[in-house]
Amino acid sequence: MSEFEYLRNVTVGQYIPTQSIVHRLDPRTKLLAALFIALSATSTRSALATLLLVGLLMGVTKLARIEVRYVLRGLLPAAPFIVVLMLMQLLFQGRFSVCETVYVEWWFVRLTPCLIELVILGALRLVIFLFLVSLLTLTTTASHVMHGIETLLAPLQRIGLPVHEFALANIIALRFIPTIAEEMERIAKAQASRGGDFGGEPWWRPDRMARARLPLIVPLFVNTLRRAEELIVAMEARCYLGRKGRTKFVDLHFTGLDWLVIGLSVLLWVVIWWTPWPTFT
Protein backbone atom coordinates (compact mmCIF):
# COMPACT_ATOMS: atom_id res chain seq x y z
CA MET A 1 0.00 0.00 0.00
CA SER A 2 3.03 2.29 -0.17
CA GLU A 3 1.82 3.76 -3.46
CA PHE A 4 -1.14 5.27 -1.56
CA GLU A 5 0.94 7.02 1.12
CA TYR A 6 0.71 10.56 -0.26
CA LEU A 7 1.21 12.26 3.11
CA ARG A 8 4.63 10.65 3.54
CA ASN A 9 5.97 12.65 0.58
CA VAL A 10 4.52 16.00 1.68
CA THR A 11 6.81 18.28 3.67
CA VAL A 12 5.21 21.66 2.96
CA GLY A 13 3.03 22.67 5.89
CA GLN A 14 4.64 20.21 8.32
CA TYR A 15 6.59 21.28 11.41
CA ILE A 16 9.41 19.31 13.08
CA PRO A 17 10.49 20.73 16.48
CA THR A 18 14.20 19.94 16.87
CA GLN A 19 15.15 23.00 18.98
CA SER A 20 17.97 23.83 16.57
CA ILE A 21 19.57 27.22 16.00
CA VAL A 22 17.46 27.60 12.85
CA HIS A 23 14.27 27.00 14.82
CA ARG A 24 15.25 29.67 17.35
CA LEU A 25 15.63 32.37 14.71
CA ASP A 26 12.99 35.07 14.46
CA PRO A 27 10.38 34.11 11.82
CA ARG A 28 10.94 37.45 10.10
CA THR A 29 14.62 36.56 9.77
CA LYS A 30 13.78 33.26 8.09
CA LEU A 31 11.29 34.95 5.77
CA LEU A 32 13.81 37.60 4.74
CA ALA A 33 16.58 35.02 4.32
CA ALA A 34 14.30 32.91 2.12
CA LEU A 35 13.44 36.01 0.08
CA PHE A 36 17.09 36.89 -0.55
CA ILE A 37 17.98 33.29 -1.42
CA ALA A 38 15.11 33.24 -3.91
CA LEU A 39 16.34 36.55 -5.34
CA SER A 40 19.83 35.06 -5.60
CA ALA A 41 18.46 32.11 -7.58
CA THR A 42 16.69 34.42 -10.02
CA SER A 43 19.60 36.88 -10.28
CA THR A 44 22.04 34.49 -11.94
CA ARG A 45 22.06 32.65 -15.24
CA SER A 46 24.75 30.21 -14.12
CA ALA A 47 23.80 26.65 -13.25
CA LEU A 48 26.95 26.42 -11.10
CA ALA A 49 25.85 29.30 -8.86
CA THR A 50 22.39 27.77 -8.57
CA LEU A 51 23.92 24.43 -7.59
CA LEU A 52 25.87 26.23 -4.85
CA LEU A 53 22.57 27.63 -3.54
CA VAL A 54 21.13 24.10 -3.44
CA GLY A 55 24.18 22.97 -1.47
CA LEU A 56 23.72 25.92 0.91
CA LEU A 57 20.10 24.92 1.56
CA MET A 58 21.19 21.35 2.29
CA GLY A 59 23.71 22.71 4.79
CA VAL A 60 21.01 24.79 6.50
CA THR A 61 18.82 21.67 6.64
CA LYS A 62 21.60 19.80 8.43
CA LEU A 63 22.00 22.77 10.77
CA ALA A 64 18.28 22.52 11.54
CA ARG A 65 18.79 18.83 12.51
CA ILE A 66 16.45 17.65 9.77
CA GLU A 67 17.31 14.84 7.38
CA VAL A 68 18.07 16.15 3.89
CA ARG A 69 16.47 13.00 2.46
CA TYR A 70 13.21 13.91 4.16
CA VAL A 71 13.13 17.35 2.54
CA LEU A 72 14.15 15.96 -0.86
CA ARG A 73 11.40 13.35 -0.58
CA GLY A 74 8.95 16.23 -0.38
CA LEU A 75 10.03 17.24 -3.89
CA LEU A 76 8.89 13.91 -5.37
CA PRO A 77 5.25 15.00 -5.94
CA ALA A 78 6.54 17.90 -8.04
CA ALA A 79 8.99 15.75 -10.05
CA PRO A 80 6.54 14.93 -12.90
CA PHE A 81 5.72 18.62 -13.38
CA ILE A 82 9.41 19.57 -13.39
CA VAL A 83 10.14 16.86 -15.98
CA VAL A 84 7.27 18.04 -18.19
CA LEU A 85 8.46 21.66 -18.01
CA MET A 86 12.01 20.59 -18.90
CA LEU A 87 10.78 18.60 -21.91
CA MET A 88 8.64 21.52 -23.11
CA GLN A 89 11.65 23.84 -22.92
CA LEU A 90 13.85 21.36 -24.79
CA LEU A 91 11.29 20.88 -27.55
CA PHE A 92 9.94 24.38 -28.12
CA GLN A 93 12.52 26.91 -26.89
CA GLY A 94 15.51 25.84 -28.95
CA ARG A 95 14.52 28.03 -31.92
CA PHE A 96 15.01 31.12 -29.78
CA SER A 97 18.52 30.13 -28.68
CA VAL A 98 21.34 32.44 -29.81
CA CYS A 99 24.12 29.84 -29.48
CA GLU A 100 26.13 29.14 -32.60
CA THR A 101 26.89 25.57 -31.54
CA VAL A 102 24.04 23.19 -32.33
CA TYR A 103 24.08 19.60 -31.11
CA VAL A 104 20.84 18.39 -32.72
CA GLU A 105 18.53 20.10 -35.20
CA TRP A 106 15.49 18.27 -36.51
CA TRP A 107 12.17 19.82 -37.55
CA PHE A 108 11.24 22.25 -34.74
CA VAL A 109 13.73 20.74 -32.24
CA ARG A 110 17.04 22.60 -31.88
CA LEU A 111 19.36 21.48 -29.09
CA THR A 112 22.11 23.93 -28.10
CA PRO A 113 24.41 24.39 -25.07
CA CYS A 114 22.52 27.55 -24.11
CA LEU A 115 19.23 25.66 -24.10
CA ILE A 116 20.61 22.82 -21.99
CA GLU A 117 21.90 25.27 -19.38
CA LEU A 118 18.59 27.15 -19.43
CA VAL A 119 16.65 23.93 -18.81
CA ILE A 120 18.95 22.88 -15.96
CA LEU A 121 18.77 26.38 -14.48
CA GLY A 122 14.97 26.42 -14.58
CA ALA A 123 14.71 23.02 -12.90
CA LEU A 124 17.18 24.02 -10.18
CA ARG A 125 15.27 27.23 -9.51
CA LEU A 126 12.04 25.28 -9.01
CA VAL A 127 13.85 22.92 -6.65
CA ILE A 128 15.20 25.89 -4.67
CA PHE A 129 11.77 27.52 -4.35
CA LEU A 130 10.15 24.26 -3.18
CA PHE A 131 13.08 23.60 -0.84
CA LEU A 132 12.74 27.06 0.69
CA VAL A 133 9.01 26.68 1.38
CA SER A 134 9.51 23.21 2.88
CA LEU A 135 12.42 24.32 5.06
CA LEU A 136 10.53 27.39 6.27
CA THR A 137 7.47 25.40 7.38
CA LEU A 138 9.58 22.57 8.83
CA THR A 139 11.42 24.98 11.13
CA THR A 140 8.66 27.50 11.94
CA THR A 141 5.18 27.02 13.33
CA ALA A 142 2.24 28.26 11.30
CA SER A 143 1.37 30.92 13.88
CA HIS A 144 4.93 32.28 13.86
CA VAL A 145 5.04 32.36 10.05
CA MET A 146 1.76 34.27 10.05
CA HIS A 147 3.05 36.65 12.73
CA GLY A 148 6.23 37.24 10.73
CA ILE A 149 4.41 37.92 7.46
CA GLU A 150 1.98 40.25 9.19
CA THR A 151 4.78 42.18 10.90
CA LEU A 152 6.90 42.54 7.75
CA LEU A 153 3.93 43.76 5.71
CA ALA A 154 2.53 46.00 8.48
CA PRO A 155 3.50 49.27 6.67
CA LEU A 156 1.12 48.32 3.84
CA GLN A 157 -1.82 48.69 6.23
CA ARG A 158 -1.46 52.46 5.93
CA ILE A 159 -2.65 52.28 2.32
CA GLY A 160 -5.59 50.07 3.23
CA LEU A 161 -4.26 46.61 2.33
CA PRO A 162 -5.66 43.75 4.48
CA VAL A 163 -2.29 42.46 5.67
CA HIS A 164 -3.67 40.25 8.45
CA GLU A 165 -6.15 38.55 6.15
CA PHE A 166 -3.44 38.06 3.51
CA ALA A 167 -1.12 36.39 6.03
CA LEU A 168 -3.95 34.23 7.35
CA ALA A 169 -4.92 33.09 3.85
CA ASN A 170 -1.33 32.10 3.08
CA ILE A 171 -0.96 30.10 6.28
CA ILE A 172 -4.28 28.30 5.77
CA ALA A 173 -3.22 27.43 2.22
CA LEU A 174 0.09 25.97 3.47
CA ARG A 175 -1.58 24.04 6.27
CA PHE A 176 -4.18 22.61 3.89
CA ILE A 177 -1.50 20.94 1.73
CA PRO A 178 -0.86 18.06 4.18
CA THR A 179 -4.59 17.97 4.93
CA ILE A 180 -5.40 17.46 1.24
CA ALA A 181 -2.66 14.80 1.00
CA GLU A 182 -4.14 12.99 3.99
CA GLU A 183 -7.64 13.12 2.49
CA MET A 184 -6.36 11.87 -0.87
CA GLU A 185 -4.55 8.99 0.83
CA ARG A 186 -7.68 8.01 2.74
CA ILE A 187 -9.90 8.16 -0.36
CA ALA A 188 -7.41 6.20 -2.49
CA LYS A 189 -7.17 3.42 0.10
CA ALA A 190 -10.95 3.30 0.45
CA GLN A 191 -11.48 3.02 -3.30
CA ALA A 192 -8.62 0.52 -3.69
CA SER A 193 -10.30 -1.71 -1.10
CA ARG A 194 -13.34 -1.69 -3.41
CA GLY A 195 -11.31 -2.80 -6.43
CA GLY A 196 -9.96 0.51 -7.73
CA ASP A 197 -6.50 0.58 -9.32
CA PHE A 198 -4.40 3.65 -8.50
CA GLY A 199 -0.85 2.32 -8.19
CA GLY A 200 1.95 1.02 -10.35
CA GLU A 201 2.26 3.89 -12.82
CA PRO A 202 5.86 4.94 -13.55
CA TRP A 203 6.82 8.47 -12.54
CA TRP A 204 7.99 9.26 -16.08
CA ARG A 205 4.42 8.78 -17.35
CA PRO A 206 2.54 11.66 -15.70
CA ASP A 207 -0.33 11.17 -18.16
CA ARG A 208 -1.01 7.68 -16.79
CA MET A 209 -0.65 8.89 -13.22
CA ALA A 210 -3.14 11.70 -13.81
CA ARG A 211 -5.61 9.41 -15.61
CA ALA A 212 -5.47 6.84 -12.81
CA ARG A 213 -6.22 9.48 -10.19
CA LEU A 214 -9.11 11.20 -11.93
CA PRO A 215 -11.71 9.25 -9.87
CA LEU A 216 -10.22 10.82 -6.73
CA ILE A 217 -10.87 14.42 -7.77
CA VAL A 218 -14.59 14.72 -6.97
CA PRO A 219 -14.53 13.10 -3.48
CA LEU A 220 -11.31 14.97 -2.68
CA PHE A 221 -12.92 18.27 -3.68
CA VAL A 222 -16.01 17.52 -1.58
CA ASN A 223 -14.00 16.49 1.48
CA THR A 224 -11.76 19.55 1.17
CA LEU A 225 -14.80 21.82 1.14
CA ARG A 226 -16.11 20.00 4.20
CA ARG A 227 -12.80 20.57 6.00
CA ALA A 228 -12.90 24.25 5.03
CA GLU A 229 -16.44 24.56 6.37
CA GLU A 230 -15.37 22.96 9.66
CA LEU A 231 -12.52 25.47 9.89
CA ILE A 232 -14.93 28.37 9.33
CA VAL A 233 -17.29 27.09 12.03
CA ALA A 234 -14.38 26.68 14.46
CA MET A 235 -13.18 30.23 13.79
CA GLU A 236 -16.68 31.64 14.28
CA ALA A 237 -17.10 29.65 17.51
CA ARG A 238 -13.96 31.35 18.80
CA CYS A 239 -15.38 34.77 17.87
CA TYR A 240 -12.74 35.44 15.23
CA LEU A 241 -13.34 38.89 13.73
CA GLY A 242 -10.13 39.46 11.80
CA ARG A 243 -7.43 41.78 13.02
CA LYS A 244 -9.81 44.05 14.91
CA GLY A 245 -9.15 43.78 18.65
CA ARG A 246 -6.57 40.98 18.31
CA THR A 247 -3.44 40.88 20.45
CA LYS A 248 -0.30 38.74 20.19
CA PHE A 249 0.85 36.18 22.73
CA VAL A 250 4.54 36.59 21.78
CA ASP A 251 6.28 39.81 20.76
CA LEU A 252 8.98 39.35 18.15
CA HIS A 253 12.43 40.82 18.78
CA PHE A 254 15.53 40.67 16.61
CA THR A 255 18.72 39.39 18.24
CA GLY A 256 22.33 39.76 17.15
CA LEU A 257 22.14 36.37 15.43
CA ASP A 258 19.08 37.49 13.47
CA TRP A 259 20.87 40.59 12.19
CA LEU A 260 23.89 38.46 11.28
CA VAL A 261 21.75 36.02 9.26
CA ILE A 262 19.97 38.88 7.46
CA GLY A 263 23.30 40.55 6.66
CA LEU A 264 24.76 37.29 5.31
CA SER A 265 21.64 36.75 3.19
CA VAL A 266 21.96 40.21 1.65
CA LEU A 267 25.69 39.63 1.09
CA LEU A 268 24.93 36.31 -0.61
CA TRP A 269 22.49 38.02 -2.97
CA VAL A 270 25.05 40.72 -3.84
CA VAL A 271 27.82 38.15 -4.44
CA ILE A 272 25.60 35.95 -6.62
CA TRP A 273 24.39 38.98 -8.57
CA TRP A 274 27.75 40.66 -9.22
CA THR A 275 30.10 37.70 -9.57
CA PRO A 276 30.75 36.65 -13.22
CA TRP A 277 29.94 32.97 -12.72
CA PRO A 278 31.09 30.56 -15.45
CA THR A 279 28.48 29.15 -17.80
CA PHE A 280 28.38 26.20 -20.17
CA THR A 281 28.53 28.59 -23.10
Q: Is residue 12 domain-resident?
A: yes
pLDDT, one tens digit per residue, over 110-137 is 787 778 888 889 999 999 999 999 999 9
Percentage of residues in the chain with pLDDT exceeding 70?
89
> Which are the contacts of 5, defined by CB distance < 8 A and separation ≥ 6?
185
The mean per-residue pLDDT over the stretch 226-247 comes to 82
Position 84, amino acid: V
Radius of gyration of the chain from its Cα atoms, rounded to whole angstroms: 22
> Which are the contacts of 259, defined by CB distance < 8 A and separation ≥ 6?
none
Q: Is the pLDDT of residue 205 over 70?
A: no
The mean per-residue pLDDT over the stretch 25-45 comes to 94
For residue 236, give its domain range.
2-274
Q: Is residue 279 domain-resident?
A: no
Q: Is residue 149 domain-resident?
A: yes
pTM, whole model, 2 decimals? Answer: 0.84
What is the pLDDT, as a whole number, of residue 204?
63
Domain count, the chain: 1
What is the pLDDT, as a whole number, of residue 196?
67
Q: Is residue 281 domain-resident?
A: no
Q: With CA atoms as reference, report the closest residue to 21 among 255, 252, 248.
A: 255
Q: Is residue 135 domain-resident?
A: yes
Question: What is the C-alpha separation between 224 and 162, in angstroms, rounded?
Answer: 25
Q: Is the pLDDT of residue 266 over 80?
A: yes
Compute the mean pLDDT over every residue in the chain, rounded to the nearest whole number: 85
Name the band, by pLDDT with cuts 50, 70 and 90, for residue 200: low
Position 212, amino acid: A
Residue 98, CA distances (Å) to 13, 92, 102, 114, 254 in order: 41, 14, 10, 8, 47
Q: Is residue 100 domain-resident?
A: yes
Position 208, amino acid: R
Q: How does DSSP classify residue 241?
A: B
Name the band, by pLDDT with cuts 50, 70 and 90, for residue 36: very high
pLDDT, one tens digit per residue, over 69-80 is 999 988 888 888
Output the DSSP codes for 78-136: GHHHHHHHHHHHHHHSGGG---S--SEEETTEEE-HHHHHHHHHHHHHHHHHHHHHHHH
Position 59, amino acid: G
Q: Is the pLDDT of residue 181 over 70?
A: yes
Q: Is residue 248 domain-resident?
A: yes
Q: Is residue 79 domain-resident?
A: yes
What is the pLDDT, as a whole number, of residue 216?
82
Helix 256-274 / helix 47-63 crossing angle, nearest 10 deg? 160
